[in-house]
Amino acid sequence: MPTNVKIILNAHGGLLKRQAKIDLVEQALQTVSLDYQLAITEHPDHGLALAKQAAWEGWPVVVAAGGDGTINEVVNGLMQADPAEQRSTLGIIPLGTGNDLSDALAIPRDVTGACRRLAEGNTRLIDLGLVNDRYFANNSAVGLEPVVTVAQNEMRYAGSSRYMLAAIKTILTAQPWSMRIKWDHGIYEGPVTLVSIGNNTRTGGAFYMTPKACLDDGLLDFVYGIGMSRWQLLRLLPKTLSGQHINHPLVTYQQTKTLSITATPPTPIHADGEVFDRQAVEINYQIFPKKLRVII
C-alpha cells in the first residue's frame, strides 16, 4: 500500500466551494491515515505541470482529485515526465459531474471510499489514447461533440443536465464537416457530423458513444455519423444515452489501433472533455496498450 501520495486538487469546478472541497478531501485522507501533500490547481493545465513535477520528484502515487478534465491534465503530466516509462501510479478521487473514467474503474464516488482505495493500493493497467500530442484515458472527439463541450463550458448552469442542454443548443445550429477518415481497415470521405473516439464506453456522464469500448483491449472504438439533418440529430441524441445510436443507418461503428482525420472547415478537438485545439485540420489518433497504471 502507498504511504506517500501527492494530491492534485481542482478546487474550482463542481458544486462545492473551494474551501469546502479542500476540507472534504483532507478529512477523508486523514480518516484513512494516508500521508499526503496537497497542491491546488490555479489555472488551465496547471494540473499537468504539477503532475509532471511530482513524477520528476519521485512521488510513487499522484492523485487527480477532480473530474475527467483534471484526470486528463494529471495523466498528460505523468506521460510528459517520462513517455517511455510511467514513473508514478495514478490515483483518482472523483469530484466531477460526469466521473466517467472513475465509474468505469468502480472507484467509489464518496470521497472517503475513494481515499480508502488509495490506501489499499490495488492497481490495474489500462490503455491510453493519443490524439496529436494530447493523451486521453476516457474519450476524445472532433466535430459536433467538442462544439457541444465548448457550449457547455460557456453555460453558467452547473447541473448534471448541462451537457444535454448544450447538445440541443448546438444541434439547432449544426453544419456538417467534410472529412476524410482513415482507419486500420477502411476509409470514408464525405460529409460528417461527428466522430467520437472511445477508450471507455461513456462520456459526458451519461452518453454511451462507444458502448463496446474496453479500457484494456488495445483498441480505440470510434463512431461517426455522416451528414444528418438537425431533426435527425435531435432524434438520435436520446439514443446515445443507451448506446442504441450505433444501430442507426447513418452511423458507423469501428475499432482500430490508428485513426487519421482531415477536416474542412477546421474542427475543435477535445480529450477527456478538455478542448485543446479549436482549429484542427489534420488529426491523428493511436492507442498505447496498458500504458497507464491506476489505483482502483
Element (H, E) at 35: strand 35-40
d(CA 109, CA 72): 18
* pLDDT for the residue numbered 167: 87
Express each pLDDT in 178-207 by its tens digit.
999 999 999 999 999 999 999 999 998 999
Rounded to 10 deg, the angle between the 46-57 and 68-81 helix axes is 40
* pLDDT for the residue numbered 80: 96
- Longest Cα separation, the chain: 57
* pLDDT for the residue numbered 14: 61
* pLDDT for the residue numbered 71: 98
Domain architecture of the chain: domains with CATH = 4-121 (3.40.50.10330), 136-288 (2.60.200.40)
Task: Tell me if residue 235 falls in helix, strand or coil.
Answer: helix
Q: How many CB atoms lie within 10 A of CB 287?
A: 21
Q: Report strand pairing: 139-143 vs 89-94.
A: unpaired
Share of the chain above pLDDT 70, in %: 96
Contact 98, 70 (CB under 8 A): no
Task: Tell me if residue 131 falls in helix, strand or coil.
Answer: strand
Express each pLDDT in 199-213 by its tens digit.
999 998 999 999 999
* pLDDT for the residue numbered 97: 85
Question: Burial letters for 122-134: b for 16+ Cβ neighbours within 10 Å, e otherwise?
Answer: ebeebbbbbbeeb
- If pLDDT is split at 50, 70 and 90, which confidence band does 115 have? very high
Express each pLDDT in 37-58 by its tens digit.
999 999 999 999 999 999 999 9
20 pLDDT more than 70: yes
84 pLDDT more than 90: no
C-alpha cell at 21: 472541497
Residue 17: half-sphere exposure toward Cβ, Cα within 13 Å: 2
Average pLDDT in the 284-290 region?
98
- Residue given cell 489500462 in the structure block: 126
166 pLDDT more than 90: no
Residues whose CB is less than 8 angstroms from the CB of residue 150 and which lie 6 or more positions away in sequence, other chains included = 268, 275, 278
